[in-house]
Structure 1
Amino acid sequence: MIRSFITIFLLVVTFSLQGQTDRFTSNLYETYDSYKEESLNKRRIKHADLQPLIDSFDARSGFEVRTVGRSIEGRALRLISIGQGETDVYLWSQMHGNEPTATQAIFDILNFLASPDQGSEKQAILKSVRLHFLPMLNPDGAEVFARHNTLGIDINRDALRLQSPEGRTLKRVRDSLDAEFGFNLHDQSTYYNAERTPKPATISYLAPAYNYEKEINLVRENAMRVIAFMNGIIQNYAPGQVGKYNDDFEPRAFGDNIQKWGTSAILIESGGYADDVEKQEIRKLNYVSILSAIYTIATGSYANTSLEGYESIPENDRKLFDLKIEGVTYPLLGEDYIMDIGIQRPEVDDADHQDFWYSSRIVDLGDLSTYYGYQTLDGSGYRLEAARVYPEVLADLKAIEKLDFWALLREGIGYVRVKNLPLNLSNSPYPVHLISESYKPAEFRLRNGTNPTFFLNSGGKAQYAVINGFLYHIPKQEGKGKNSMIFR
């Protein structure tokens, strides 16, 4: 009788805690806009953008802000701490300067922690843990939106030599805290997908190995359990869009070594999400994921999460294109071939690294049946045709603005000649390429590495245009691209 009572009591407590957790985590997603830091709404954020925000937390009760190091170029690395608990949790972001999604989410989390809302759960967190945030570990790289630091090295491969002041700061803070948990926050390529599915790996996790044998001790096991918990939460908002990084041991990497040094290391990578160029939805998922993890650490509930939840996360694969065209007819030297075309849109930064434009490329051809696209077009019954040049030479950019671009696309025109192309103009803001008087487009051939510009015809009429890798449906006048190219 007593044993039955204890069993029932434990089940009631378990379900009660689970219900409380579910309410808390779902509320995080629903109320996110109340805490989003609106001043950070673009990926290309700079060190100077963060300093007023950090200063504002320094002035708030309960927060402690310290300068714990400096970058090679002298930019301050500042640690923001809050909480009274005995469990130290260390979170760092933007070790790679062009990976800012989690940096934005950190300031959303700080806004949440600073607010008077979400009283009981937030107080449970702050009484149980002490949180330490080191946002933008590589501010010099962020200044030019580059992966590496000013020394030209990948800080995440500097855990042994510790040549970089940024890497030394990361380790020194970890050692001083002897943190129980560490969150290593990154962005990954948008071309990763969850293995054997067309879904992007919007969020990817990893509990890094601490040796070549990939052994699992209690430190790594705790990281796995927290990740399994986070995955269960994120599946509610991005079902099937979670991947897991390969866990081969990398002896130079910080995550692997931090695991080895006794801190349960949790890697979070922000990937791709359809129609989310600035990764604002992924930022929101980071916010929910990280705060959920902090909550399960604070309550200790992660210990009840099965390791099977970690093992069941599909591996990352890299089989996504921005645009995939399937089964189109490609005429070449008197013969017709059935072709799949895989297109990606690499970003090119503006000179001030505040914005970017696309210089798209064909990256694969042939049978791409095991690959996927954010956008996929069934090209069956369509025939590829070269883009033509507008017959007139226009005097300047003002003359271009008078053109009817959909009329040009209906005529199969993808290039317009302009006499006076400004030298400071890096790309075309129109759905056609701009070319100089002397430029001659090459003979149309599908080749890897070339700019994807062509038409898909049916019944002798242009039905689709692909201009700089962007798809335009001509009869419905649907489709939009950020930019086309300039060829001089």
Structure 2
Amino acid sequence: MKHFAYLITFILISAACQGVGQRQLMYTPDTAKLAKAFETYREPTITHRRFKHADIEPLILKRKGGQVFEVTQLGVSVLKKPIYQLKYGAGPKKVMLWSQMHGNEPTATMALMDLFNFLEAEGDGMDSIRSLLKTATSLYFIPMLNPDGADVFTRRNAMDVDLNRDARAGATVEGRILINAAKAVQPRYGFNLHDMNIYYNVPGTPTPVTIALLAPAYNAERDINQVRGDAMKIAAGINRVLQDFVPGGVAKYDDTYTPRGFGDNFQSWGASTVLIESGGYKGDPEKQFIRKLNFIIILNALIEIAQESYHQYDIDEYEAIPFSDSKLSDVLLRNVGASRDSISYKVDLSINRDEQTEGSDYYVQSRITDVGDLRESYGYAELDADGYYFMAGKIHPNVFGSIEEVSLEQAMGYLRQGYYAVQVARLPEQRLHGLPLVVFHQRSPVPASPNLGREANFFLARDGVPAYAIINGYLIDLSVTPQVEFKNYIR
């Protein structure tokens, strides 16, 4: 910690010595210290991404009247949920950060709760960072701009409007709140914090885009002025930090000018604005690792803004970041043997698992998203099925009283016998289940086929013996006990 404090002090001294006109400060982030800060100040009450407004409101209100943050209620949502702003610092560089304007994009909101914990701490060897931010910046945080959407985990607000397409019209109460906040603060910098779907990949690779960055355009020509150029430099610095954690896992978001978008308008209003999109990372379904990345890159970017060390990065470094592609799926099966109308063929299948909200949890519904030659596509799970053949499964002949009568071991045994579905006589109050089976009460599942849009419930067999099962889009090797958490639903 002493080294980190010394580094910050050295930078401040260097800035004073160089004078106003020279801003090329050489700064190397201590990413290990930033990562440790996250582990220390991670908000323990939030452990999954489907939290609600009632979960974060106490974390905001407990800071009201304190010495660290100035908490203001900016207004209420369509359904009358309060929307808050937290201000930190009293410096000349004004920065506005807003999260979850799409209700089902919560990763950055989690990271802001962690950041609030860090900013109000002291005596840990990182007080020099807090002092720097307090004196050099005024930070305006608006977490969960769309609480109505967050409570039901949907993108749009209660008026069915996409808030990120309301910067021009200001037709929504939440959009007007953000517009009015921007007018009141007149920030010099902005951070537009989002999530994107997990199926973006770095072009030409199976690597998911874990974080996508963008310095939005302020006009249709996508010109670069000082405001947008500074945003590009900040994004270039963020990319450097991310390469320590997800090497090769960063891309740019589409930079087509969107006259209705808030990022584009903030840029045109004079705020150097960076869009941060949290994407996918294998083995991180609740985005807790990506939450950590958000904490690290946001905190470091604020340090860079405070000391203006982002000027050390070149716009060309930002331009060199590739644009994201969208050729990733949950499961990619290559060379699956199949037949139709006496014609035998081999085909590639891509499969996705779409999330369906159930209270504070979710289940998945699978579908085959593409069929054919998918050599340029990838999957979080991939299998070369050459030598294996598509086989439709059977429904178990027994009707079980309840789901509790079937264990994981029994389920795996049924799969090995070619049974993919079981029927239960009673529906439990909680219909989510974690078995690798299709479980139904009355409505029998539709027979499987390797066709576009169909549910992914079938086997890959050799000589008539199932070797792999694909159950609701999960790829299961029948030779081992699965370690996956299945998010399934009793029909």
Structures share fold, TM-score greater than 0.5:
yes
In structure 2, the CA distance between the partners of 1:96 and 1:444, relative to structure 1 (3 Å rule), is closer
1:476, distance to aligned residue in structure 2 (A): 2.1
Contact 1:125–1:295 at 8 Å: present in 2 too?
yes
> Equivalent residue for 2:4?
none
**Distance in 1 of aligned mates of 2:408 and 2:184:** 64
**Distance in 1 of aligned mates of 2:406 and 2:381:** 29
1:392, distance to aligned residue in structure 2 (A): 2.2
Q: 1:66 aligns with which of 72, 87, 108?
A: 72
Amino acid at match of 2:464: G
Whether 2:378 is the aligned partner of 1:376: answer no
Contact 1:468–1:485 at 8 Å: present in 2 too?
no
Amino acid at match of 2:117: N
Structure 2 residue matching 1:231: 3-state secondary structure:
helix
> Equivalent residue for 1:388?
394
Identical counterparts, % of pairs: 39
Structure 2 residue matching 1:309: 3-state secondary structure:
helix
Whether 2:449 is the aligned partner of 1:445: answer yes
Q: How do 1:15-26 residues align onto structure 2 when only pairs under 5 Å count?
A: 18=26, 21-23=28-30, 25-26=31-32
In structure 2, the CA distance between the partners of 1:423 and 1:293, relative to structure 1 (3 Å rule), is same
Q: 2:209 aligns with which of 178, 201, 208?
A: 201
Contact 2:37–2:118 at 8 Å: present in 1 too?
no
Q: 1:408 aligns with which of 406, 414, 428?
A: 414
> Equivalent residue for 1:480?
484
Normalised to the residue count of structure 1, the TM-score between the two structures is 0.92
Structure 2 residue matching 1:471: 3-state secondary structure:
strand
**Distance in 1 of aligned mates of 2:203 and 2:159:** 35
Contact 1:250–1:256 at 8 Å: present in 2 too?
yes
Normalised to the residue count of structure 2, the TM-score between the two structures is 0.91
Whether 2:84 is the aligned partner of 1:78: answer yes
More displaced stretch, 66-75 vs 128-137: 66-75
In structure 2, the CA distance between the partners of 1:434 and 1:92, relative to structure 1 (3 Å rule), is same
> Equivalent residue for 1:5?
none
Q: How do 1:249-264 residues align onto structure 2 when only pairs under 5 Å count?
A: 249-264=257-272
Whether 2:313 is the aligned partner of 1:297: answer no
**Distance in 2 of aligned mates of 1:153 and 1:170:** 15
Structure 1 residue matching 2:421: 3-state secondary structure:
strand
Structure 1 residue matching 2:29: 3-state secondary structure:
helix
1:360, distance to aligned residue in structure 2 (A): 1.0
Q: 1:313 aligns with which of 317, 321, 326?
A: 321
1:481, distance to aligned residue in structure 2 (A): 4.4
> Equivalent residue for 2:249?
241
**Distance in 2 of aligned mates of 1:122 and 1:344:** 44
Whether 2:249 is the aligned partner of 1:226: answer no
Amino acid at match of 1:224: M
**Distance in 1 of aligned mates of 2:71 and 2:400:** 58
Whether 2:48 is the aligned partner of 1:48: answer no
Structure 2 residue matching 1:318: 3-state secondary structure:
coil
1:396, distance to aligned residue in structure 2 (A): 3.4
> Equivalent residue for 1:33?
39
Structure 1 residue matching 2:290: 3-state secondary structure:
helix
State the Cα RMSD in Å.
Answer: 2.2
Whether 2:479 is the aligned partner of 1:471: answer no
Contact 1:325–1:378 at 8 Å: present in 2 too?
yes
1:245, distance to aligned residue in structure 2 (A): 1.0
> Equivalent residue for 1:112?
118
1:425, distance to aligned residue in structure 2 (A): 5.3
More displaced stretch, 394-403 vs 145-154: 394-403
Amino acid at match of 1:457: A
1:479, distance to aligned residue in structure 2 (A): 4.6
After superposition, give the CA deviation of every residue in 1:165-214 in whole Å (9 maximum; x if it has no partner). Answer: 11111011111111000111011011111222211111011111111111
Task: Give the length in aligned residue pairs.
Answer: 472
**Distance in 2 of aligned mates of 1:413 and 1:83:** 62
Whether 2:181 is the aligned partner of 1:173: answer yes
1:246, distance to aligned residue in structure 2 (A): 1.3
**Distance in 2 of aligned mates of 1:402 and 1:137:** 42
More displaced stretch, 460-469 vs 175-184: 460-469
1:477, distance to aligned residue in structure 2 (A): 2.5
In structure 2, the CA distance between the partners of 1:413 and 1:138, relative to structure 1 (3 Å rule), is same
Amino acid at match of 1:54: I
